[in-house]
Amino acid sequence: MDVKEIRDKEFPRRFRGYDPQEVESFVGRLADYIADLHRELDNVSDQLRQTNVDLKEYRVREKTLEANLTQTRRISDEMRANSEKEAKFIVAEAELQAEKILNQAHNRLAQIHDDITELKRQRAQFEVRLRSLVEAHLKLLEVEADRDRDLSELEDKIKILRSPST
């Protein structure tokens, strides 16, 4: 039943019946009230339709956000895993480099020890040679001193022989 039917409804007239003006007035108010209810129902229906449309949009957005969040988590996990792998690789590479440097330092230290040992050996040889050379020169000086003494004695003998006996 719609508002037009209510407004157009006519009641048969009887003796001692209702006051037709009051009935018509009441029916008019009732029709207005029902019309208001229909308008309100239409508004509520429109709002409900709009709310359903909005709800569908929000659900689509929610699914999109959930998908994005899932993808972001996955990418984040992948990035974290890759970062951890890269960090492990960098640490391993640094440890390898440190080991190489340490080995080089040990080799250099061993070489320095060898060089020191060689220098000590050369020093000992030099000292032996120098001592031999000094001893040889001392012997030469002794021989020269003996020679000078012998020469002095000879000169003294020659002087004695040269001197006229008096």
Question: pLDDT, tens digit, for every residue of 102-161?
Answer: 999 999 999 999 999 999 999 999 999 999 999 999 999 999 999 999 888 888 888 887
Q: What is the pLDDT of residue 125?
A: 97
Instruction: Please tell me the predicted confidence (pLDDT) of residue 165.
Output: 62
Q: Tally the residues of the chain.
A: 166
Q: 98: domain range?
A: 3-162
* Residue 1: predicted pLDDT: 65
Count how many domains the chain has: 1
HSE-CB at 73 with a 13 A cutoff on CA atoms is 5
Q: Please report where in the chains the tokens 């000169």 appear, as a residue.
A: 155
Ranking 4-8, 77-81, 140-144 by mean pLDDT, the lowest is: 4-8
Q: Map tokens 């492990």 to a residue.
A: 88
Gyration radius of the chain over CA positions: 66
**Measuring CA to CA, how many Å separate 36 from each of 8, 24, 29, 30, 64?**
17, 18, 10, 10, 41
Q: Is the pTM of this model over 0.85?
A: no
CA atoms within 13 A on the CB side of 36: 6
